[in-house]
Structure 1
Amino acid sequence: MNGLLLINKPAGMTSHDVVSRVRYLLKTKEVGHSGTLDPMATGLMVLLIGEATKLSSYVTEGDKSYAVGIRPGVTTDTLDITGQILAEKQVQCSEGQIQELALSLVGEFQLPIPMFSAKKVDGKKLYEYAREGVQIEQPQKKMAFWNVTHQEPLKFHLHCSKGSFIRSWVQLLGDRMGCGAAMASLERTSSHQYNLTEAMTLAELASMEAQEVSRKLVPLDKALKGVKSIRVKGQDAVLMKNGQISHSLRSQLISRFNPDQDEIIQILPEEKGRLLALVGLEKQQGFKIKRVFNC
């Protein structure tokens, strides 16, 4: 069983809990994921099954979108409502003013990374420093947000770049409001080209037979939408399986690969649903096989 499995994560489970449950249900240890969700968060998790685990670094590259609820006037250590309250202030802004401020928070910002996160500093996760009460300089990073829309009172939908923290955006909104704010809810609605509407629940997965699950998987040759592909057969395919690039395939790569746009090209066999390899271009080395898939 190889491919991507789209799961709608329930609140209260860690991302590791979801992976463990799917490993149990599918009776395989070869299950990974393309990005964690906090236990309080719900929504889309893209799981990598079987040979698809080799796609991890590529599937995680895309942008994501979220529906986020906020609680104005509250500041916590975790930046969400699960944390310890550090301060409470009277909210002076109207809902209309909060909406206007939120819609203005688009673009690229240099923001602090939440201390309760898995980001590492000197080989140690930030949440480990926070739990031990160790004071360190809080790292910052560039985060980009766009397409912010108002859904309902104190709830917004927005897109963000890879590695951006929605809690940091909520903290920025709270600062602009002058009273602080904490994240009250979070739902991931899309990840790269995949959408929450395509996902199934763990209960639905548990009710399926193996063949039905296989049909629900995103096949390997469809997993990297937007990435160029070359289909091979015969000796070209045999050599590729053995980690070699034939002369004829190399000629096709030269004509198809654009160094300014392409990181990799997919090499597909004649059979649908399968992926032979990913090939990239290395400086001073030419074309190099990045991954070979055994399926």
Structure 2
Amino acid sequence: MARRRKGRDISGWLVVDKPAGMTSTAVVNKVRWALNANKAGHAGTLDPEATGVLAVALGEATKTVPYITDALKAYRFTVRLGQATNTDDAEGEVIAESDARPSDDEIKDALNGFLGDIMQVPPKFSAVKIDGQRAYKLAREDEEFEIAARPLWVEELVMTDRPDADHVELEMTCGKGGYVRSIARDLGEKLGCHGHVLKLRRIWSGPFEAEDGMTWEQIEELARTPELDEYIRPLEEGLADLPEVKATEQGAAKMRNGNPGMVIAHDVEYGEVCWASFDGHAVAVGVFKAGELHPNRVFVRD
């Protein structure tokens, strides 16, 4: 018999404005403790020194994490030109330098080559698995290895400021699996001057925005109090990018048992993934077929 998790059965999202110097896992653990929640996870890792939106899913909301992970995300970051590091950010050792400095027009022109469907090689100091081991572990042990390029959709990449010759500030909107450190590294190589990320902030992820997130100080102040519960956002926000269909009462009952149930749908195509609601609450996510939703994720609600 499986052991029951300790803590409260609470479901929803707590959006955190992650501070620098903490891992995403540490944030999740703190939130779980602060809310005395029995289950929590996050939608998209941020590097320890990065700041910005980290959406923490609680309880049944963890079933919606894939839809936030797959959603578009936006980053604001500063690239230090003239230096490459072994980690592709300011935490690493400088491994190459250059006196070359591109003009603003050269930078803008180079950014166009990173738009649309591109192939990107993740940093060697990343959580990518190589023959069952994390790349960062192999990198720390000075092992020789290669990481295969991966596809990435970049919707937008623009220069927002050029404080001085050594620095350029950029904003990027991209899809799942993007590494901002790789963008900085590859941009520096393309410009012939090297480059690495100096500062990084995720400004939004799917429906969640950093400016709406709780600060670390707020979480610590309200930890283990009823007031913190007031900041929990509905599970349904994690489904914002999927179309919604309305379940009938009988259809909702069937879907809760994992069976296809009747729904009322508008502008939803046969075979499309969507979510069904009943009385304003999510019942299931699944595939729409001929007036029914065939569930692949069912939400267990009180």
Output the TM-score relative to the length of structure 2.
0.85
Equivalent residue in structure 1 for 2:176, among 146, 152, 162: 162
Other-structure match for 2:297: 291
Give the superposition deviation at 1:87: 1.2
What does residue 85 of structure 2 align with? Answer: 76
Match of 2:110 among 57, 81, 101: 101
CA deviations on 1:227-276 (whole Å, 9 max, x unpaired) are 22233354333333222334xx06x47x864246x22x212121x3x322
What amino acid maps onto 2:77 in structure 1? Answer: V
User: Structure 2 regions of 5+ residues with no counterpart?
Assistant: 1-9, 163-167
% identical aligned pairs? 29
Name the structure 2 match of 1:54. Answer: 63
Q: 1:213 aligns with which of 228, 243, 248?
A: 228
1:143·1:165 contact (CA, 8 Å) conserved in 2? no
Residue 184 in structure 1 maps to residue 198 in structure 2: yes
* 1:245 aligned partner: 260
Write the letter of the residue equivalent to 1:204.
Q
Q: 1:258 aligns with which of 269, 274, 278?
A: 269
Quick one: distance in 2 between partners of 1:211 and 1:280?
37
State which of 173, 196, 211 in structure 1 corresponds to 2:210. Answer: 196
Aligned 8 A contact 1:221 1:268 in 2: no
Aligned to 2:250: 235
1: CA distance, partners of 2:248 / 2:225: 30
Change in Cα spacing, 1:15 to 1:243, as seen in structure 2 (3 Å) is same
Q: CA deviation at 1:109?
A: 2.3
Query: Greater shift after overlay, 225-234 or 95-104?
Result: 95-104
User: Distance in 2 between the 1:86 and 1:150 partners?
Assistant: 25
Identify the residue that residue 5 of structure 2 maps to in structure 1: none
Letter in 1 for 2:89: D
Deviation of the 1:201 alpha carbon: 0.9
Aligned position for 1:24: 33
Q: Report if the CA contact (8 A) 1:243-1:289 is conserved.
A: yes
Distance (whole Å) between structure 1 residues aligned to residue 143 and residue 84 of structure 2 = 20
Aligned-residue offset at 1:44? 0.6
2:91, 2:152 → 1: CA distance? 23
Tell me the TM-score normalised to structure 1 length: 0.87
| 8 Å contact from structure 2 (residues 117, 151) kept in 1 | yes
Amino acid at match of 2:191: M
Q: Secondary structure at the match of 2:204?
A: strand
CA RMSD of aligned residues (A): 2.4
Report the more deviating stretch, 149-158 or 33-42: 149-158
